[in-house]
Amino acid sequence: MMDKVTATENQLLERWQIVINLIAQHYDVPACLIMKLDGSNIKVELSSDSDSGNNPYTPGDHEHFDNSGLYCERVIKTQKPLQVSNALTNPEWDKNPDIKLNMISYLGVPLNWPDKSPFGTLCVLDNKAREFPEDFRQLLEHLSHVFELELSLVEEIEQRKAAEESLRITQEQLVSAEKLAQISQLSQGISHQLGTPIGTGVTLTSHINTLCGDVFKHNAEALSISSLRDTIAEIQNCNEMLIAELGKSARLLSTLKLSAQQSSLIDECNIDVQACINDSWGFCSSDERQRIQLQMNISDDCILLANYAVVVDVLRQLFRNAIDHGLVGVLAPCITVHTYNQEENTVIKVSDNGKGMTDEVKKAALQPFFSTAKSAGKVGLGLNFVNNLVTSTLGGQLIITSNEDGTEISLIIPN
Q: What is the reported pLDDT for 193?
A: 61
Angle at 319 between CA 317 and CA 323, to 5 degrees: 115
Strands 406-414 and 397-403: antiparallel
Q: What is the reported pLDDT for 187?
A: 61
Measured distance CA(300)–CA(104) in Å, rounded: 84
Measured distance CA(388)–CA(394) in Å, rounded: 9
39-53, 152-166, 396-410: the lowest-pLDDT one: 152-166
Q: What is the reported pLDDT for 376?
A: 43
- Best-predicted range by mean pLDDT (94-98, 207-211, 358-362): 94-98
Q: Mark 249-264 as b/e (b = at least 16 C-beta within 10 Å).
A: bebbeebbeebeeebe
Domains of the chain plus CATH, in order, are 9-132 (3.30.450.40), 267-415 (3.30.565.10)
pLDDT digits (tens, 9 = 90+) for 206-220: 777 777 776 666 654
SS (H, E, C) 214-258: HHHHCCCCCCCHHHHHHHHHHHHHHHHHHHHHHHHHHHHHHHHHH
The model's pTM is 0.45
Q: Is-contact 46 32, C-beta < 8 A? A: no
Confidence of residue 98 (pLDDT cuts 50, 70, 90): very high
48-52, 54-58, 79-83: the lowest-pLDDT one: 48-52
Q: What is the reported pLDDT for 223?
A: 61
Angle at 152 between CA 151 and CA 155, to 5 degrees: 85
pLDDT at 282 over 50: yes
DSSP tag of 147: H
Q: What is the reported pLDDT for 366?
A: 73
The three-class DSSP label of residue 299 is coil
pLDDT at 353 over 90: yes
pLDDT digits (tens, 9 = 90+) for 120-156: 999 999 999 999 999 999 999 999 999 888 888 877 7
- Averaged pLDDT score across all residues of the chain: 81
Q: What is the reported pLDDT for 121?
A: 96
Q: What is the reported pLDDT for 221?
A: 57
pLDDT at 169 over 90: no
